Amino acid sequence: MIETDALLHIAFDAEEAGDYARAREGYARCAEFGDITALTNLAYLYDNGLGAPPDKAEAMRLYQQAWRRARCTVSANNIAILYRERGDHRAMVRWFAHGAAAGDDSACLPLAKCYLEGLGVRRSVEAAVRCLARVLSSDAVDEDDVEQAEALMDQFRPRLA
Count the domains in the chain: 2
User: Is the CB of residue 83 less than 8 Å from the CB of residue 95?
Assistant: yes
Number of other CB atoms surrounding residue 1 within 10 Å: 6
Residues 101 and 53 in one domain: no
* 87: pLDDT strictly greater than 80: yes
Domain contains 57: yes
Q: Terminus-to-terminus CA distance in the chain, angstroms?
A: 63
pLDDT number for residue 161? 65
Domain contains 65: yes
Residues 109 and 138 in one domain: yes
Instruction: Considering only residues 1 and 134, tell me which one the structure prediction assigns the higher pLDDT.
Output: 134
Amino acid (1-letter code) at residue 88? D
pLDDT average, residue stretch 77-106? 98
Residues 64 and 120 in one domain: no
Residues 24 and 92 in one domain: no
C-alpha to C-alpha distance for 27 and 135, rounded to whole angstroms = 31
Q: What is the pLDDT of residues 34-66, one digit of tens each?
A: 999 999 999 999 999 999 999 999 999 999 999
Domain contains 61: yes
Range of the domain at 64: 1-70
pLDDT number for residue 142? 96
Query: What's the pTM?
Result: 0.91
Residues 161 and 96 in one domain: yes
Q: What is the CATH number of the domain that holds 56?
A: 1.25.40
How much is the mean pLDDT over the chain? 95
Domain contains 80: no
pLDDT average, residue stretch 105-132? 97
Alpha helices in 102-142 (DSSP H): 108-117, 125-137
C-alpha to C-alpha distance for 100 and 106, rounded to whole angstroms = 7
Find, among 149, 160, 69, 51, the residue nearest to 107 by Cα: 149
pLDDT bracket for residue 159 (50, 70, 90): confident
Give me the helix-helix angle, 36-48 and 56-70, nearest 10°: 160
Residues 92 and 32 in one domain: no
